[in-house]
Amino acid sequence: SQEAGAEFFTLDLRPLQDWQNGHINKAYNIPLLQLKKRLQLEVPHFTPLVLISEDGTDAYAAACKLSALGASSLYILDGGMRLWPYALEKENG
C-alpha cells in the first residue's frame, strides 16, 4: 500500500527488543504497555494507524482501546509478525 502512495502510520506494539530484532520497514515502536503514556506525543492524530503485534492479539486490544478514545481508521496486521512473509529491518541499540 505504501508503494501505491497510501499514507498511514505503522505502529509496532511489541517490546523494544523484539522490534530491534526485526520489524517492518518504517514501523514505529511503542510497546503496548507504554502506549497510553506515549500516545498523545508520538502518534499522529489524523493519520490512519496500522497496529502490529506478535500474533495480532495485542493489536486487537489496542484497537479496542483506541476506538473507545475516538480513534477511527484503525487497521490491524492480521496474524501479526508471526505471519509476515517479507524482509525485515533491524536496529542496533
Helix (H, G, I), strand (E, B) or coil at 16: helix
* Each residue's pLDDT tens digit, 56-88: 999 999 999 999 988 989 999 999 999 999 999
* Each residue's pLDDT tens digit, 24-46: 999 999 999 999 999 999 999 88
Q: Which of 34, 72, 31 is CA-nearest to residue 54?
A: 31
Kindly state the DSSP code that residue 50 receives in the 8-state scheme: E
Sequence-ordered list of residues with C-beta below 8 angstroms from that of 37, at least 6 positions apart, any chain: none
Specify whether the CB–CB gap between 58 and 15 falls below 8 A: no
Q: Please give the C-alpha separations between residue 13 and each of 23, 47, 56, 80, in angstroms, as whole numbers.
A: 11, 17, 10, 10
